[in-house]
Amino acid sequence: MRNLELVMGWLPSLIFASRITISLSVISVVIGMLAGVFIALGRISANGALRKACGIYIFIFRGTPLLMQLFFVWYALPLAIPWLAMQDRFLAACIAFSINSAAYQAEIIRAAIQSIDPGQMEAARSLGLTYGQAMRLVIIPQSIKRLIPPVGNEFIMVLKDTSLVSTIALVDLMKHTSQIQSSAATALVYLPSACLYLIFTAVFTFLFNYLEKRHSVYE
Amino acid sequence: MALIEIENISKSFGALNVLKDISLSVEQGEVVCIIGPSGAGKSTFLRSLNHLETISDGRIYIDGKLLDDRKDGVNRSPLTKKEESDILLEMEIVFQRFNLFPHMTTLENVMLAPVHVRKQPKEAARAAAVDLIEKVGLSDKLDVFPSKLSGGQQQRVAIARALAMNPKIMLFDEPTSALDPELVGEVLAVIKKLASEGMTMLVVTHEIGFARDVADKVVFMYDGIILEEGAPAELFAKPKHERTKAFLQAVL
């Protein structure tokens, strides 16, 4: 009974700390997706230099630890270039997570675009559409349905990875959990905290499944 | 000058020569059927005309305008991108596998290019699209997605989509090869109707009966060259080459 009271007492502040977890995930995945579209288009463009550049971006940000990228943006960058010092930990986290997610999503988007039958591009180009129009009106709309499951996956990965921001003293759900754990000297706080993570992932999984269903109307 | 003048075009994929020094001229209103065994280069030849394939040598004139001029893979054509795409818009192609846009209805498929390429107002494009879809006999399928259409219906939509751009020339790349036998007739009927209206057409086909009925000229391709060409009555009745004889015996 006493345990239940404790948990109920922590819950409001845990939920409040979750606003950082959720908003950081949503912002990073959305910015990562927008940037990812351009990087993916660069990856498959006819321009060799652009293709290389986008390939290098993906290689670097997919191949180094996210924690290292976060530390780099928050701690290291201000040492190298002082005017890049950020006052806001949340902003720093958004930048690091967006840069990282863009690399992953670029590959997801590239794979989805390349999975579309090449006959679609041929038909669009033969009708006189420019490459850009063909991408925008024909190829990308068809790839969206194929994007939804892997982007949903990516979102859930990011949601859990946001716990890394506790290392730059940004108070998200994870950081607040460990604060309670040390001040109350109890392991119990992990129970409501883990449940909150599970609820968030469940909600977003449901949302992505719903989106996927809605996008299959024409099949 | 003929509507299409093809002069000595060649194409190779690496060491493989797919087209070897092919020349052909097609008059306004003429229907040319291209036949031949698979691997002869028929599709590559057709697709070279509208730049789905790039030739390495030769010249192509469309309606008196020089579209391609290449020598050893080097483009010598003085055309700007805009001039080139304007000439390419004189030709539309219909594919073996239809290639309709699956996320668009029949009407949207047909309207897409007129609205986005020709910049027609939506209402005008819509009215024109409705007429074309009626012409191919699918007025009851305006708001249906391709996945709900039979192969024959999809191919008729694809024809309407191509016609919506008002091309002077229609290219057909084995338009009935992916169809169930009972659906071939409805597509051929639409192509015949176009022929009777005077559309200039190049048709790669295995339908010898259709070629006999509709073609003004039949071209027999073998191993990257035009081995023989002539009026259908002549070519089918007395082919000059052994290869042609053997092919016709095998398919008839």
A161: phi then psi, degrees, rounded to nearest 5: -65, -20
Q: How far apart are CA B191 and CA B47, in angstroms?
A: 19
pLDDT > 70 in chain A, percent: 99
Contact B57, B20 (CB under 8 A): no
The per-residue pLDDT for range B117-137, each reduced to its tens digit, is 999 999 999 999 999 999 999
A217: confidence class by pLDDT, cuts 50, 70, 90: low
Within-domain flag for A3: no
Cross-chain residue pair A127–B95, CB shorter than 8 Å: no
Assess if residue A219 is contained within a domain.
no
| Residue in this structure with the two tokens 């690399």, named with its chain if needed | A103
Give chain A's domain count: 1
The arithmetic mean of pLDDT across residues B38-56, rounded, is: 94
A5 domain-assigned? no
- Give the tens place of pLDDT for each residue, A26-61: 999 999 999 999 999 999 999 999 999 999 999 999
Report the interhelical angle of A190-214 vs A173-184 (nearest 10°).
Answer: 170
The alpha carbon of residue B171 is apart from the nearest alpha carbon of chain A, in Å, by 11
**Contact status, residue B156 vs residue B188, Cβ threshold 8 Å:** no
> Which residues from A are below 8 Å from B113, CB to CB?
127-129
User: Mean of the pLDDT values across residues A135-148?
Assistant: 93
Q: pLDDT tens digits, residue range B7-25?
A: 999 998 888 899 999 999 9
pLDDT, average across residues B138-150: 96
Residue A174 lies in a domain: yes
CATH number for position A42: 1.10.3720.10
Whether A57 is covered by a domain: the verdict is yes
Considering the domain boundaries, does residue A48 fall inside one?
A: yes
A9 found inside a domain: no
A110 belongs to a structural domain = yes
The angle formed by the CA atoms of residues B61, B64 and B68, to the nearest 5 degrees, is 25
- Nearest by CB to residue A123, choosing from B88, B95, B103, is B95
Residues of A in contact with B112 (CB under 8 A): 127, 129, 137-138
Reported ipTM: the value is 0.93
Which of A117, A120, A133 lies closest to B116 in CB terms?
A133
Round to whole Å and give the CA distance between B223 and B225. Answer: 6
A75-79, A194-198, B115-119, B185-189: range with lowest mean pLDDT: A75-79
Nearest residue in B to A129, CA atom: B117
Length of chain B: 252
Q: Do B147 and A129 touch (CB under 8 A)?
A: no
Contact A125 B52 (CB under 8 A): yes
Q: What are the chain B neighbours of A119 within 8 Å (beta carbons)?
A: 95, 97, 99
Q: B76 in helix, strand or coil? A: coil
pLDDT of residue A52: 97
The residue among B221, B239, B223 whose CA lies nearest residue B231 is B239
pLDDT band per the 50, 70, 90 thresholds, residue B1: confident
Residues of B within 8 A of A120 (CB-CB) are: 99, 101
Contacts of residue B220, Cβ cutoff 8 Å, sequence gap at least 6: B35, B36, B226, B227, B228, B229, B235, B239, B241, B243, B244, B247
CB–CB of A142 and B102 under 8 A?
A: yes
Domain membership of residue A164 as a residue range: 15-214
Would the CB atoms of B112 and A125 count as touching at under 8 Å? no
Please tell me the pTM assigned to this model: 0.87
